[in-house]
Amino acid sequence: MNPTHTLSVHHGCVALVIMLSLSACGGGSKSSNPPTGPQPLKETIQALEDSGKIPKLDRSNDLLGPDANSNGVRDDIDAWIAAQPITEVQKKAAQQMAKVQQAKLMADLNDKTALQALGERSAAGVVCLGDVFMPDRQKGRDLRSQLEAMMANTEVRAKQYINYNRAVSGSTGRLPEGNTCEP
């Protein structure tokens, strides 16, 4: 890794996509007449979840969601990672990245030192995911994007994630070198 590379934080597009997807999931009032056209989005999502084509995600109003084992990752995300057809090393790297994403939802947006440290953890997670998927780093990037979207799957979570990105917008840092995967 070239030590002169920097990581610039700018996730406005991701945040916009999250907000647009959430507004599309708003549902609506149910009619007493059976639907004659396409299934409403909420029912389509439920059918896809029931079939296993998309993960069943916690949609509570709780910012963090349930974490029964207190490992820093929401239980539904834990289950999704465990079910992925990837190696144990890759799952561990995905857990590392999920912990960072969860921490972004809990971040004190006024504490610049803590935000910088979280940015460094995020960069380490990004590098780790890329490294464990070598030679196809793109698989690690894709997994990170999936985790990012799944972790911000409700309005309250998406808003917090957008606020986090606003707080760190324009910040820069060096990409870490060497093995950045947590032990």
CA distance 4 to 182: 23
**pTM: predicted TM-score of the whole model, two decimal places:** 0.76
What type of residue is 87? T
Dihedral sign, CA of 39, 40, 45, 46? negative
Kindly report the average pLDDT of the chain as a whole number: 83
CA distance 109 to 116: 11
Q: What is the pLDDT of residues 71-127, one digit of tens each?
A: 999 999 999 999 999 999 999 999 999 999 999 999 999 999 999 999 999 999 999
Residue 51: pLDDT over 80: yes
CA distance 45 to 49: 6
